[in-house]
Structure 1
Amino acid sequence: MDIKIIPALLCIGVFLIFAMPLSVGIINIGNGAGMTVSAVLALIFIFWGRVSAFAEKCWSRTGGRIALCCAAAIAVFCVVLAVIISIFMVKEANDPPKDENTTVVVLGCKVRDGAPSLMLRRRLEAAYDYLSEHESVFAVVSGGQGDDESVSEAQCMRDWLVSEGIAPERIFMEDRSVNTVENLRFSKRIIFENGLPEKITLVTDGYHQLRAEMIAEKQGIKAYNISGCTSWYIAPTYWVREWFGVVYYKLFG
């Protein structure tokens, strides 16, 4: 068996993993980039003879050598950058507070037919576990109402937590935000107006914690992190999307 078929099959497997979220309507720059890169790599291995012959032909010309070196440098830079960002993402995925002097802020996610989506429910489960163990801690549930949502994400989250036994007076709603920046800005205002602890414990998915904490720090908020569990088949898509999100926020946020 041609040894090149093994990496080609691996690349095809990676392509299918990034394609899986399409079956539940998830498409973003994460699975777009993942499918594109894995498909290109698979084709390179499958047609290795033609690709290597083309590369040799390019290398024989000055312009071709410059183009190949630039392409290689860009590829190496992107890989190194992705690894560095991933290290920080892993580091920030779970950093719980050392005491109870924080306010839990649960970041919203999709609501489907008035109920939490799977991703949102897992964030709520993580928040519920923490709030159950620390009964003096208050929470802000943060998320507005999308055009395709019957209730705001904040209302949905509050209803779910109350139904699980968290006292309603411990939960404050922020139901106007449409993105993470507004989640934290409006939640900070609610925390201030109600005299709650200014340090927060962010509850979101692990892949999202790094960028959420970057946004919090820019708004002068000290944040700790507790993460919900992300389904394995969508984790790669959202992880890659966060690479782009972190770079974009760092450059333009």
Structure 2
Amino acid sequence: MRRWLAVVVLGLVVAGCGSEPVAQHTPVLDPVVTAGIPASSPPTTATTTTAPEVVVVLNPGHNGGNASHPAEINRQVPAGGGQVKACDTTGTETDDGYPEHAFTWDVTLRVRAALEARGVTVVLTRQDDTGVGPCVDERAAIGNRPDAAAVVSVHADGASTEGASGFHVIYPDPPRNEAQGEPSSRLATTLRDGLVGAGFAPANYTGRDGLDGRDDLAGLNLSERPAVFVECGNMRDAAEAAVLGSDDGKQRYAAAIAAAVLTYVGR
């Protein structure tokens, strides 16, 4: 009996001290007091990974105002390897008058749009198709950004050889620095493979298997970054000129070039 009373009294002592039983009261602790108390499971913090910036320089050949400024574009400028060359040229054109500068500008804008859609930062060596130049050494200087992953010059050829057709990718040979060696060769090969994969035939009149090493182009000689020239086709060949001048053809060239550049820069 005494043991039972002791239990009852003890129960009253535990439940006492307030109008509500302790068992029904959920205390709200001061945040300052609880700040140092470790949680049962630490909160997770979301992390955002930002891909590093990739810069590609696109160099659309020639310019729409070159023909009306012969003195300016004929001025001699350094071309690397002890050579000098004209500041720029007018470029070639199809037999029906479609100019190379317009083709290169159109294709370059399409390549830029495709690269930017994949997060690539694109720098152009000229901002329109109505100006003059810039000179070939200036174009090379624009390409020599410390962070440029690749420099791609877009051109079309004007070979007069009967039956000459097809594209070719020009790379620096011999290389004058590390970037002009394996990186440029790999860029050229990646672009060649991309154009072949898109259904374009390699040139049958110059280079070998769509690749052509040269040492006389300022844009390659003066480059300190991986750099190539893409001659998309021969504007003097009637069948090829029809493709180069068509909207569908320009889009196919641009898509193939952009895809190859993305492969090269790992995007």
* Interval of TM-score (by shorter of Structure 1 and Structure 2): under 0.3
TM-score, length-scaled by structure 2: 0.26
Decide which structure has greater helix share. 1
Structure with higher Rg: it is: 2
Q: Normalised by the size of structure 1, how large is the TM-score?
A: 0.27
Bigger fraction of residues in strand: 2
